[in-house]
Amino acid sequence: MKKLVITNGVFKLSDHHVLSIPTLQIAQKQSWAFVGSNGSGKSALTRILSDDIIQLEGCYTNNFNKVARLSFEQLLQLITKEWQRNNTDLLSKDESDIGKTTEQIILGSLPLNKQNYDYCKQLADQFGIIPLLQRHFKYLSTGETRKVMLCRTLMLKPDLLILDEPFDGLDIKSRQQLTLLLADLIKINNITLILVINRFDELPDFVDYVGILSECHLVCSGVRQQIMSDTLIAQIAYAEQQQKRSLPQCDTSNSQLILPIDQPRISLREGYVHYNNRPIINGLNWHVMPGEHWQIIGPNGAGKSTLINLITGDHPQGYSNDLTLFGRKRGSGETIWQIKQHIGYVSSDFHLNYRVNINIKQVILSGYFDSIGVYQPVSDRQIFLTQQWLNLLGFSHLADTPFRSLSWGQQRLVLIARALVKHPTLLILDEPLQGLDTINRQLVKHWINLLIREGNTQLLFVSHYAEDAPDCITHRLSFIPYGESYRYEIEKLH
């Protein structure tokens, strides 16, 4: 029987950090999930299990024939590579742009024969992405790229499959499809599956074994029911303690807008966005009034992020639409900085594009200036408030740590703090909780509710998880499939 066994293992993460695994045994046909807080070493564990980290001590044996691993970092590298193919006009959506199709990405470096083409289409059909096969990969939504990368990994037909946060970025239907597919892989293909997840509530029913990591140490591992009983109690107690803390104040030099109480904060009339004559947003009428906080939901590729990019000024077709923000019609002479001045923003795309080589203190400070990096003088008060945010995150000791050296979940926490730091007039959070563990999801939702309750910030919250919506949400905008496009449903919640 195929096995992966580690005894008294110590593995090098950096010059000053190691990950320790006292004992771990993974056997053929087993299904495992490893759970831990952000920065606990979960992603490093996936590299260890795929023989990609230097072993310093202990015994390590692995007689699986074909190991495949999929992670956030691999997705980032592939997207970056695709965009680097054509830097002449990044705003162009013309099909002549250089870049691989979805089908080419899935096939990767495999031989281009009928067997592989057929298997590619079979996987694409299982994930519901047949219509995407001939589209350029770099133009897909976050959820769509996740499905494509999963298909690409499964093309290798591994006997040990390691998935780092496979459910993040997927809508409800896609998560259900993926869960069923993974269960079938174990049952039919004799595959051994390892999931690394942040959410205890994402543990699929078919997972039989669980490991818990803390501070780069495998604390415990074993049968699911035995491990979970004690861990959840500790999680809840810690979360309750952390939620007693309040938010740092805002910087008075960056005060909120004062607007008439009867004036819409956002007004979009007959909104229309298209790529290559294909409507992405089609006839949307939407108005956000004072005191309203909106959740925006819909399947992957429905146009949710496109709508957000219209508002933030990051989409060129925003200037051809009848769009008013904070009482000012889009295209009336405002600069991109005037648009962003009173907006706090986090999204998966923004996370992927935050590539400058600066420390996390500078990342949070950049939120005051709506820039990627800090390029202007910083006030003493802004430095003081940034330190308070670092304290709130528990990152005081990491202030000078390079942003890109953090785990993906820690990076996301820093970017959320960057969005909240100026107590913006409009807070836009597009899938903000991706990559966060149970504790940090609860804390971020608590911070959002505090910000809304104690100030005048209004919220736009995009998420596939209905339970992720903060308590302050008052309205919902739903993108509902309708033929080849979408219709829109607006409802008041309370």
- Residue 42 phi, psi (nearest 5): -65, -50
Half-sphere exposure (CA, 13 Å, Cβ side) for 100?
16
Fold of the domain built from segment(s) 3-66+157-241: Rossmann fold (3.40.50)
Residue 93: pLDDT above 80? no
Residue 354 CB coordination number (10 Å): 19
Q: What is the pTM of this model?
A: 0.75
398 vs 244 pLDDT, higher one = 398
Residue 90: pLDDT above 60? no
**Would you state the structure tokens that stand for residue 71, as one six-digit string?**
């992670």
Residue 338: pLDDT above 80? yes
Per-domain residue ranges for the chain?
3-66+157-241, 252-492
pLDDT of residue 38: 82
pLDDT 10s digits, 238-265: 666 666 678 888 887 655 677 788 889 9
Residue 404: burial class (beta carbons within 10 Å; 0-12, 13-18, 19+): middle
The DSSP secondary structure of 132-157, one letter per residue, reads GTTSBGGGS-HHHHHHHHHHHHHTT-
pLDDT of residue 91: 44
Q: Which of these, 195, 78, 196, lies nearest to 140 by C-alpha position?
A: 78
pLDDT of residue 24: 96
CA 242 to CA 455: how far, in whole Å? 21
Half-sphere exposure (CA, 13 Å, Cβ side) for 366?
20
CB 337, CB 370: distance < 8 Å: yes
pLDDT of residue 460: 97
**Would you state the structure tokens that stand for residue 163, as one six-digit string?**
């998935």
Mean pLDDT estimate for the chain:
87
> What is the rounded average pLDDT of the residues 129-138?
91
The alpha carbons of the chain give a radius of gyration, in whole angstroms, of: 23
Residue 288: pLDDT above 50? yes
Q: Which CATH superfamily is domain 252-492 in?
A: P-loop containing nucleotide triphosphate hydrolases (3.40.50.300)
Q: Which of these, 178, 112, 172, 102, lies nearest to 133 by C-alpha position?
A: 102
Name the strands in the sheet holding 3-12, side by side, starting at the edge strand that comes first in the sequence: 18-27, 3-12, 55-62
Q: Which of 49-58, 145-154, 454-463 has the lowest mean pLDDT?
A: 145-154
pLDDT of residue 355: 84
pLDDT of residue 206: 93
pLDDT of residue 436: 85
**Burial track 13-33 (b if 16+ CB lie within 10 A, e otherwise):** eeeeebbbbeebebeeebbbb
Q: What share of the chain is helix, strand, coil (3-state, %, to 5)?
A: 40, 25, 35
pLDDT of residue 88: 46
